[in-house]
A and B are shown apart, each in its own frame.
Chain A
Amino acid sequence: MSEQDASGKRRWTMIVDLDKCSGCGACVVACHAENNVPIAAEDQVVADRSQHWMRIERYWEGEYPDVKARFVPVLCQHCGEAPCEPVCPVYATYHDERGGLNAMIYARCVGTRYCANNCPYRVRFFNYFDPVFAEPLNNQLNPDVTVRSAGVMEKCTFCVQRIRRAEHTAKVEGRTLADGEVLPACVQACPTGALMFGDRYDAASAVAKLLEHNGRAVRLLETLGTDPSIYYLKGGTSHVD
């Protein structure tokens, strides 16, 4: 049983263990399927318009022949001090105080793309065209998630539809939300268990416990003061031969 902090607020947090990430891309595919993320055609990818709410950044380390590939899954960091939020002139992106989520309302977006420019992680995506879901992909669109139209921004929501559904179920059943009850699609799909999800404000949750005693936890571009909700557990040392 989880307990929320005094104000009833949560801080949804994800932990990415870089040592466990094999760069397989299952999270990316799961995200596409869950969130109706359009699939960018080849010419669009060549034009640097790939569209993955979650992406695997691959970095090469060392010189040939002693080369290692490093994989960093990057998704919206759900910053506590999000640079994208204050710049939107129409409140299309705003801070969800209840869950510490960085929320995006597609219907409000006019497409200034200011948020995306101000995102140091570049995890916001713009719909340059109306999305096309070719057969048979159109048959597996998630009814819980809006299909975005041309001209609006979109980004990772931490599968807010799953969070809301779990919260609702818990409320109906008259209990508090259990730790591990909410799993975003990427976490669910990760075969090596590199991803963990939970409420950091809940001291009993697995993520809070892990972060408390883990010296490997870092956050991406922490010097910018964005206070991200994604923690990366540094990899590397266990690979040393």
Chain B
Amino acid sequence: MSIETERNPWMSAPPESEDEQEQVEHLRKDHLLLDPVGMEAMNQDALGSMTRHGRWTWMLIVVLGGLAMMAGVGWLVQLFVGLGFTGLNRTIFWGMYIINLVYFIGIGHAGTFISAAFRVMGFETRRPIARAAETVTLFALAAAGLFPIIHLGRPWKVYWMIPIPNQRQLWPNFQSALEWDAMAIMTYVVGSVLFIYIGLLPDLAMARERTGVNWRRRLYSALSLGWRGTDRQWALHESVSTIFAYVIIPVMFSVHTIVSWDFAMTIQPGWHSTIFGPFFIVGALYSGVAAVLVAMGFLRRFLKLGYFIREEHFDVMAKFLLIMSFAWIYFYFGEFLVTWYGNLPPEMTILDLLLYGEAAPLWWLMIFCNVVVPVGLLWMRRVRRNPGILFVIAVFIQVGMYLERYLIVGVMLGRPELPFNYSWYYPGLEIPIAIGAFSFVIFFYFIFTVFVPIISTWEVGEGQFLHGLRKIGRKITKFKSDMH
């Protein structure tokens, strides 16, 4: 490790005056990539975060684990008794299980987007938060992958949906959007796990070098697959990561499109819409970026990662969130304006239900959470740079986006063509299972931070290596080298 000095070695010349010194201090305070403390100190800080879980965090982890187990018991009951304790009925056959599937796949999208799309576009802010975001993807997908199975009437037969030669001599039906969905989700899970694992390798090796001979060392030795940090390994790592980043972006877009097609391919009023593919992707990124902001807030506060996760990162993510909120509003408006103008009776029944009917409280609450709160607040720089307020806004968006899916699945489904079949959805056993699923995701997120450095130090180090300060006239500016 050559970068051991406090001073930025890539600065063209040391500051000469007090004014220049002040400028340098200011830039370093604002930008992580201009503020190297030395690779070793940074590694120790990131590794230390694995043991910085305080008493309250551990208590939270225990409570979350208990809630997740409660959901497991609920599912066991359902396995033995059937889906009778849910609030589903003979009009509304899909409920909160599918809503959770859409929601968790949705929040999984941001991680991939931040680590893959930001990577290929060269957005430097991704460096310290990419792994935190990918981890959201990882466990959100784990939960999302469970829900189609929980949802099934006979989950022990789920393998019938996998195209394997079988004694029944029957392939799955490739015409079914659910079949596409099953394959898309499996592809995305495998791809995401590999992608996060590749990014982890250098840091696992780093952790291996810096722990005593104990279980941690054995774990990291096994997981780091013999990573030694040779030039050849780094070159391979770079090309594999780049290829993976390009490959996983279309997979990410296809997954949520196909999830939306589960709905759009039907002839249910309110669902049968060509706009659903892009609309769901935008919604997914919107809720996903908000979820990453929640995670960033957690990490910064509970694991004391203030050095890595700075206001500049919150600022950038909040701007991204604002843009996604505009995009989401645009799609939502487009969807409803067309429906309203078309004035088809079954579609108008649903619009009336949402705007003034039984579902109006939920709909207006959703509009408040998804439109009023973010658009009203995120344009302010002070808000964007305040992790506490951002945390609250992000939670509002989670509520709003959950409600959006709830309205699409649980409420619209209650208005089929024939008025005789109108119904309303009162969830039952789904509620504890949903609470358990949220706990499951947060629980495993925290557990993950115990075993793995949640900050990608090699990426941050690389970024710091590439960035420097240069004096142009009397002003000190930052520059980025294109060296690799």
Contact = CB atoms under 8 A, between A and B. Distances in A.
A88 B176 CA distance: 6
The secondary-structure label for the interface of chain A is loop
B90 A129 contact: no
B82 A151 contact: yes
A150 B157 CA distance: 13
A58 to B, nearest CB: 8
A89 to B, nearest CB: 4
A57 B153 CA distance: 28
Contacts of A122: 90-91, 416, 418, 421
Contacts of B266: 83, 87, 114, 117-118
A50 interface: yes
B173 A151 contact: no
Nearest to B180: A89
B438 to A, nearest CB: 24
A163 interface: no
A74 B418 contact: yes
Contact of A128 (B82, B152, B426): B82
Interface in A45-97: 47-51, 57-59, 72, 74, 83, 86-91
B93 A126 contact: yes
A130 interface: yes
B343 to A, nearest CB: 15
B196 to A, nearest CB: 29
Contacts of B152: 110-112, 151
A121 B268 CA distance: 10
A108 B157 CA distance: 9
B177 A150 contact: no
A128 B416 contact: no
Contacts of B87: 47
B153 A91 contact: no
Contacts of A113: 88, 93-94, 153
B384 interface: no
Contact of B160 (A57, A110, A116): A110
Scoring B91, B160, B418 by chain A CB atoms within 10 A of each residue's CB, the highest score goes to B418
A16 to B, nearest CB: 15
Interface residues of B, number: 47
Contacts of A109: 153-154
Nearest to B151: A112
B349 interface: no
A151 B84 CA distance: 9
A125 interface: yes
A163 B219 CA distance: 65
Nearest to B421: A122
B89 interface: yes
A130 B80 CA distance: 10
A150 B416 contact: no
A111 to B, nearest CB: 2
B249 to A, nearest CB: 27
B59 interface: no
A90 B173 contact: yes
A57 B422 CA distance: 12
B89 A47 contact: yes
For chain A, give the interface size range: 35 or more
B160 to A, nearest CB: 5
A137 interface: no
B418 A121 contact: yes
B91 A48 contact: yes
B170 interface: yes
B420 A89 contact: no
A122 to B, nearest CB: 4
Contacts of A204: none
Interface in B71-106: 81-84, 86-94
A120 B418 contact: yes
B360 interface: no
Contacts of A125: 90
A126 B87 CA distance: 13
Contacts of A22: none
B179 interface: yes
Nearest to A57: B420
A49 B90 contact: yes
B67 interface: no
A230 B173 CA distance: 27
B358 interface: no
A130 B82 CA distance: 7
A152 B178 CA distance: 17
Nearest to B413: A117
A86 B267 CA distance: 12
A127 interface: yes
Contacts of A110: 152-155, 157-158, 160-161
A221 interface: yes
Given A113-B94, A113-B153, 18 more contacts: A57-B418, A58-B420, A74-B420, A83-B267, A86-B175, A109-B153, A109-B154, A110-B155, A113-B88, A118-B266, A121-B418, A126-B83, A126-B153, A128-B84, A128-B86, A150-B84, A151-B154, A153-B153
The 7 closest A-B pairs by CB, nearest first: A111-B153, A151-B153, A150-B82, A48-B89, A113-B93, A128-B84, A89-B176
Interface of B: 81-84, 86-94, 148, 151-155, 157-158, 160-161, 168, 170, 172-173, 175-179, 182, 262, 265-268, 413, 416-421, 423, 426
